[in-house]
Amino acid sequence: MDSRRDFLQKLGLSAIALPLIPLSGLASSVENFGERYDGPVLRVAIMGLGGYANRVAEAMQSCVRAKLVGVISGTPGKITTWQSKFNIPEKNCYNYENFDKIKDNADIDVVYVITPNALHHDQVIRVANAGKHVICEKPMALNAKEGKEMVDACKKNNVKLLVGYRMHFEPKTLEIIKMRKNGDFGKVMFFQGLCGFKIGDPSQWRLNKKLAGGGSLMDIGIYAVNGARYMVGEEPTWITAQETKTNPVVFKEGVDETIQFQMGFPSGAVASCLSTYNMNYLDKFFLTGEKGFAELQPSTGYGPIKGRTNKGELTHPHLTHQTVQMDEMAQIILEGKQPVVPVDGEEAVKDMKIMDAIYLAASTGKKINLKG
Q: Which residues pair with 239 in a beta bridge?
A: 263, 368
Residue 97: predicted pLDDT: 98
Mean of pLDDT values over 12-29: 39
Residue 35: predicted pLDDT: 59
Q: Which of 1-5, 170-174, 212-216, 358-362 has the lowest mean pLDDT?
A: 1-5
pLDDT tens, residue by residue, 114-141: 999 999 999 999 999 999 999 999 999 9
Ordered by start, the domain boundaries in the chain are 16-166, 167-317+344-369
pLDDT exceeds 60 at position 26: no
Q: How confident is the model at residue 372 (pLDDT cuts 50, 70, 90)?
A: low
Residue 276: predicted pLDDT: 98
Residue 36: predicted pLDDT: 81
Q: How confident is the model at residue 34 (pLDDT cuts 50, 70, 90)?
A: very low
CB 273 within 8 A of CB 258: no
Residue 357: predicted pLDDT: 98
Q: What is the rounded CA–CA span in Å between residue 79 and residue 89?
A: 10
Residue 309: predicted pLDDT: 98
The fraction of the chain above a pLDDT of 70, given in percent, is 90
| Same topology between domain 16-166 and domain 167-317+344-369 | no
pLDDT tens, residue by residue, 296-328: 999 999 989 999 999 999 999 999 999 999 999
Mean of pLDDT values over 202-229: 97
**DSSP H or E stretch at residue 53:** helix 51-60
Q: CA separation (Å) from 51 to 9, 153, 241, 341, 350?
A: 10, 28, 31, 26, 27
Cα-trace Rg, the chain: 20
Mean of pLDDT values over 72-96: 98
pLDDT tens, residue by residue, 266-289: 999 999 999 999 999 999 999 999
The fraction of the chain above a pLDDT of 90, given in percent, is 89
Mean of pLDDT values over 13-23: 38
Query: Distance between terminal CA atoms of the chain?
Result: 39
pLDDT exceeds 70 at position 1: no
**Is 16-166 in CATH node 3.40.50.720?**
yes
DSSP string, 160-214: -EEE--GGGG-HHHHHHHHHHHTTTT-SEEEEEEEEE-----TTSGGG-HHHHSS
DSSP string, 213-275: SSSHIIIIIHHHHHHHHHHHTS--SEEEEEEE-S-TTTS-TT--SEEEEEEE-TTS-EEEEEE
For residue 304, cis peptide bond before it (omega within 30 degrees of 0): yes
pLDDT tens, residue by residue, 321-354: 999 999 999 999 999 999 999 999 999 999 999 9
Residue 140: predicted pLDDT: 98
Mean pLDDT estimate for the chain = 92
pLDDT tens, residue by residue, 60-73: 999 999 999 999 99
Q: What contacts 2, CB < 8 A, 6 or more positions away?
A: 199, 200, 201, 204
Residue 285: predicted pLDDT: 98
Pick 167-317+344-369's CATH classification: 3.30.360.10, 3.40.640.10, 3.40.50.300, 3.40.920.10. 3.30.360.10
**Which residues are marked as active site?**
138, 223
